Amino acid sequence: MSRKNNTGPYLLDGREVLGDTAVDIVHKIYTGESIRHWHDFYELEIICSGEGAYEVNGKTVKVSRGCAYLVTPEDYHKLTAENAEMYTVSFGVTSVDWDIIRKISESKSATVVRFSDGEFERIERVLALLLSEFSSNMPMRENALKVLLEYMLISFLRSLEIGKSESGQKSTAIMRAVAYIQHNFKRDLSLKEVAEKAAVSTNYLGVLFVKELGITFSRYLGLTRLKYASNLIKYVSYSLEDIAYASGFSSPSYFSGVFKKEFGCTPSQMRNRLVKDGTLDGVSESEQ
């Protein structure tokens, strides 16, 4: 996809970050302002010292020691920090148990948690183990990485009290489907493909969407794309054409039509209102 300027989110390809591995971990001291971006994989970042500001989907939260945040393929974000010691753990949708992906899907995306001092000391020990395993060539290395990463994610989810939600609230098949859609909605996606990933028949998955989520597969996919597109319009200076393609729509005209049907105005009309209100910087009405 073309980039007309450098103000819109940049896509990081999981093939470049993860390569052939299921997990990638980086320990660093970071000072600066990252480019606003999104990626087709999950990312857990933990701040060990220093402080900064974490922006996700247009909202900014101050972060410091003990903070952690988890971003999904739906979220665009950036970090501004000063001498921040941090860990960045990247992983794919198949890198951990499906039940954990299900819990992530149930949670509010891109939430920042703050661990207590005692909890964070334990988290730091696990991070050190995770980095050590990642850097080693020991037997069963991948198994160890999976166990340690899952422990980290469970700790994160427990802090969100997601673990208190009723188990079995949604079927495994529908949560696999939802996770796969979140990971792939920016490209062409069919019910058949999602059903294959969820290990059920196409007809059965279609029934499950209506039974468990109350809407059809196509409606769910469309709403996921529209939610993402509306956030891009609200929070970033990014051409409407690029927003259409970045959100998974086949053409700008089709995007405009379904957007107006859902929100009562075209993307251009929403953008113009934001520009006039002064809530969106770096774009003029002539750039629509």
Report pLDDT digits (tens) over 153-210.
Answer: 999 988 876 444 444 456 778 888 888 888 889 889 999 999 998 889 999 999 999 9
User: Per the CATH hierarchy, to which homologous superfamily does domain 172-287 belong?
Assistant: Homeodomain-like (1.10.10.60)
**pLDDT category of residue 135 using cuts at 50, 70 and 90:** very high
**81 forms bridges with which residues in the sheet?**
32, 52
Q: What residue ranges of the chain are covered by domains with CATH 2.60.120.280?
A: 10-163
- Rounded-to-integer distance, Cα 121 and Cα 211, Å: 44
- Rounded-to-integer distance, Cα 108 and Cα 229, Å: 18
Q: Which of 73, 32, 74, 26 is nearest to 53 (CA)?
A: 32
Beta strand 23-33 with 77-91 is: antiparallel
* pLDDT given for residue 62 in this prediction: 92
* pLDDT given for residue 189 in this prediction: 93
Element (H, E) at 26: strand 23-33
Spell out the CATH class of 10-163: mainly beta
| Mean pLDDT for the stretch of residues 76-94 | 89
Higher pLDDT, 225 or 235: 225
Where would I find the H helices in the chain?
14-17, 98-106, 117-134, 141-159, 172-184, 191-198, 202-208, 217-235, 240-246, 252-263, 267-277
Burial class (CB in 10 A: 0-12, 13-18, 19+), 68: buried
- Cα distances (angstroms) measured from residue 42 to each of 16, 100, 202, 238, 268: 14, 12, 27, 23, 31
Q: What residue ranges of the chain are covered by domains with CATH 1.10.10.60?
A: 172-287
* pLDDT given for residue 166 in this prediction: 44
State the pTM of this model.
0.64
- pLDDT over threshold 60, residue 281: no
| Mean pLDDT for the stretch of residues 108-132 | 87
Tokens of 56: 């996700």
Through-space distance between the first and last CA atoms of the chain, rounded to whole angstroms:
17
Counting DSSP H helices and E strands in the chain, the numbers are 11, 8
Residues in CB range of 235: below 8 A, 6 or more apart: 57, 58, 280
Q: Which long-range contacts (CB under 8 A, 24 or more apart) does 162-169 make?
A: 162/103, 162/106, 162/107, 163/103, 165/103, 165/106, 169/106
